[in-house]
């Protein structure tokens, strides 16, 4: 079968929070460029449409998780998944982006031709199974960083013996009845900390079983500064001022955590003691083996997680699993946890570039052997950019800057008559460094399949919004390590 091939200027892959932002920037700042968005699912929103487990919400405030160009105007600063999805749909419609989205288009392969200065992107339609081909000059990958088909779900001894349902939060059954049930949530990350108080509201008896503790921090669900400002200035001004306030506070707290970890640990412990009471065993359940911000903090809006523990609606157990049984879980300590439902909140499975294979002039490229340029392009790979957010701050802060930078790059190419831009590292003193300096299990499992970063700029990944702001918004795009032709 011969496929008709459409050719456009910029192809965006993914209609989640990154892809919607990228489309806005291309449309508004590169008006002469044609573009389209390929979305593998049947709806926009990515994470915020996929995840449907009880209590799903942001773990970043909406003044930084929201777009720089489209203010978040609701009262809740920590929003639930439904509100975030509504915000994304509102953004798509406000800027007339929906007509550019091609749903049910799953990319499989991208092949670059230097002679034609174009990518040929092929894939399959999720609804019909039919193949498709689209050509583009510039490929902008905004597909997130984890596998939407499955989460990380380790195999536990005896799990086939358990008589009840075993549920992963990434695929939460719509008809799961939790009322009055004994539920064990395995995990200590953001998903588990979100699920526990949400399930107690459904009158479930919840136990969070963790192998090791994590840092949990309570934060008000509303930003009182923002709400105070809204009564005095425009919503746009209030949003912008609150956004900058939160950027500086987040940057300060991250820097303080890295430079004075013992001090930060003491402050966290003090706050947890106040939230949980004098008799709670914080040493066992809330004293991680790692330093603050070696992994992402877990957020408890209005302290809901601590309230559930303090009021006895939920329990926390720190132990390791010996085996599942027909009626629950037996631990290595000998203790048995009864359960009607077991929830495996055991993390994500990362999937780089949506699992797409990359070929340049007939040669397959293994991107784990490449080096990232400004944390968004790849050494010796032409006209390909990646939107990858921060691990220590809001994802959107970085995806916004990436969208701005890609448009600056495209406009520079248009002004100079260039068709290709290829990052090339010719300095032999630059050494490889792991792409992410984060000890979280889902990151460590994926590092061998991810590209490297370099030991100096522009090959170095900054986990710092202010540094990236200077570099990506105001720095030169025609630096010596970008080859234009």
CATH number at residue 259: 3.50.50.60
Domain boundary among 282, 309, 344: 344
359 & 336 share domain? no
Which of the 8 DSSP states describes residue 474?
I
pLDDT at 37 over 80: yes
Residues 73-96: tens digit of each pLDDT = 999 999 999 999 999 999 999 999
67 & 128 share domain? yes
| Residue 322 included in any domain | yes
Which of the 8 DSSP states describes residue 388?
-
Split at pLDDT 50, 70, 90, the class of 310 is: very high
For residue 3, the model assigns a pLDDT of 59
pLDDT at 169 over 90: yes
Instruction: Find the domain containing 213 and state its range.
Output: 159-344
pLDDT at 300 over 50: yes
pTM for the structure as a whole: 0.95
50 & 119 share domain? yes
**CA atoms of 63 and 250, how far apart (whole Å):** 12
Residues 412-467: tens digit of each pLDDT = 999 999 999 999 999 999 999 988 887 777 778 878 888 999 999 999 988 899 99
- Give every CB contact of residue 228 below 8 A, 6+ residues apart in sequence: none
C-alpha angle 380-381-383 in degrees, rounded to nearest 5: 130
| Residue 71 included in any domain | yes
For residue 295, the model assigns a pLDDT of 87
48 & 140 share domain? yes
Residues 333-385: tens digit of each pLDDT = 999 999 999 999 998 888 889 999 999 999 999 999 999 999 999 999 999 99
**CA atoms of 463 and 48, how far apart (whole Å):** 24
Domain boundary among 319, 344, 369: 344
330 & 381 share domain? no
At 289, list the tokens: 């083996």
pLDDT at 283 over 50: yes
For residue 178, the model assigns a pLDDT of 96
pLDDT at 332 over 80: yes
127 & 179 share domain? no
Count the neighbouring beta carbons within 10 Å of the beta carbon of residue 133: 15
Split at pLDDT 50, 70, 90, the class of 470 is: very high
For residue 4, the model assigns a pLDDT of 61
For residue 445, the model assigns a pLDDT of 82
At 385, list the tokens: 């950019």
Residues 107-162: tens digit of each pLDDT = 999 999 999 999 999 999 999 999 999 999 999 999 998 888 889 989 999 999 99
At 226, list the tokens: 């923002």
| Residue 370 included in any domain | yes
Residues 237-264: tens digit of each pLDDT = 999 999 999 999 999 999 999 999 999 9
**CA atoms of 66 and 14, how far apart (whole Å):** 17
Which of the 8 DSSP states describes residue 296?
P
- Give every CB contact of residue 152 below 8 A, 6+ residues apart in sequence: 346, 347, 348, 349, 441, 442, 445
| Residue 154 included in any domain | no
Pairing of strands 384-386, 421-423: unpaired
* Residues shown for the chain: 485
211 & 302 share domain? yes
| Residue 264 included in any domain | yes
Query: What does the radius of gyration of the chain's CA atoms come to, in whole angstroms?
Result: 23
Residues 178-208: tens digit of each pLDDT = 999 999 999 999 999 999 999 999 999 999 9
Split at pLDDT 50, 70, 90, the class of 2 is: very low
| Residue 1 included in any domain | no
Domain boundary among 344, 362, 391: 344
| Residue 250 included in any domain | yes
pLDDT at 5 over 90: no
**CA atoms of 177 and 159, how far apart (whole Å):** 21
Q: Give, rounded to a whole angstrom, the gap between the first and last alpha carbons of the chain.
A: 35
Number of domains in the chain: 2
314 & 219 share domain? yes
* Cβ–Cβ under 8 Å, residues 299 and 217: yes
75 & 200 share domain? no
Mean pLDDT over all residues of the chain? 95
For residue 449, the model assigns a pLDDT of 84
For residue 315, the model assigns a pLDDT of 97
139 & 163 share domain? no
Split at pLDDT 50, 70, 90, the class of 391 is: confident
142 & 215 share domain? no
pLDDT at 1 over 90: no
189 & 115 share domain? no
**CA atoms of 232 and 234, how far apart (whole Å):** 7
- In our burial notation (b when 16+ CB lie closer than 10 A, e otherwise), range 181-192 reads bbbbbbbbbbbb
């Amino acid at each position: 079968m011969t496929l008709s091939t459409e050719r456009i200027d910029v192809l965006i892959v993914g209609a989640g929070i990154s892809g919607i932002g990228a489309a806005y920037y291309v449309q508004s700042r590169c008006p002469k460029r044609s573009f389209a968005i390929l979305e593998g699912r049947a709806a926009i929103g990515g994470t915020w449409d996929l995840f449907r487990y009880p209590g799903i919400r942001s773990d970043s405030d909406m003044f930084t998780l929201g777009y720089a160009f489209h203010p978040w105007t609701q009262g809740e600063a920590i929003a639930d998944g439904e509100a975030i999805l509504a915000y994304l749909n509102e953004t798509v419609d406000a800027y007339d982006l929906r007509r550019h989205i091609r749903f049910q288009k799953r990319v499989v392969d991208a092949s670059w031709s230097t002679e034609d200065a174009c990518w040929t992107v092929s894939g399959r339609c999720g609804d019909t199974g039919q193949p498709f081909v689209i050509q583009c000059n510039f490929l902008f990958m905004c597909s997130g960083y984890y596998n939407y088909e499955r989460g990380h779900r380790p195999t536990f001894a005896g799990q086939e013996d358990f008589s009840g349902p075993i549920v992963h939060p990434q695929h939460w059954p719509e008809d799961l009845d939790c009322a009055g049930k004994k539920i064990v949530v395995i995990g200590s990350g953001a998903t588990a900390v979100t699920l526990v108080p949400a399930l107690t509201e459904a009158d479930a008896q919840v136990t969070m079983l963790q192998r090791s503790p994590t840092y949990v921090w309570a934060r008000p669900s509303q930003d009182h500064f923002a709400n105070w400002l809204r009564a005095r200035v425009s919503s746009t001004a209030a949003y912008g001022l609150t956004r900058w306030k939160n950027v500086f506070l987040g940057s300060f707290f991250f820097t303080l955590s890295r430079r004075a970890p013992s001090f930060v640990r003491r402050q966290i412990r003090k706050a947890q003691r106040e939230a949980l009471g004098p008799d709670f065993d914080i040493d066992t359940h809330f004293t991680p083996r790692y330093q603050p911000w070696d992994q992402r903090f877990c957020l408890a809006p209005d302290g809901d997680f601590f309230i559930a523990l303090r009021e006895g609606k939920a329990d926390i157990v720190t132990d390791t699993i010996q085996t599942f049984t027909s009626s629950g879980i037996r631990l290595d300590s000998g203790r048995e946890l009864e359960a009607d439902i077991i929830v495996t909140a055991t993390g994500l499975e990362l999937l780089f570039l949506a699992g797409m294979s990359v070929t340049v002039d007939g040669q397959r490229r293994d991107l784990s052997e490449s080096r990232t340029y400004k944390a968004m392009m790849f050494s010796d790979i032409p006209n390909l950019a990646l939107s990858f957010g921060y691990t220590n701050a809001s994802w959107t802060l970085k995806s916004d800057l990436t969208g701005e930078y890609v448009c600056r790059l495209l406009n520079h190419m248009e002004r100079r008559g260039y068709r290709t831009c290829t990052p090339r590292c010719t300095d032999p003193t630059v050494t490889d460094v792991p792409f992410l300096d984060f000890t979280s299990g889902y990151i460590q499992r994926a590092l061998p399949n991810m590209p490297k970063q370099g030991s100096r700029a522009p090959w170095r990944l900054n986990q710092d919004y202010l540094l990236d702001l200077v570099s990506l918004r105001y720095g030169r795009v025609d630096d010596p390590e970008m080859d234009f032709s």
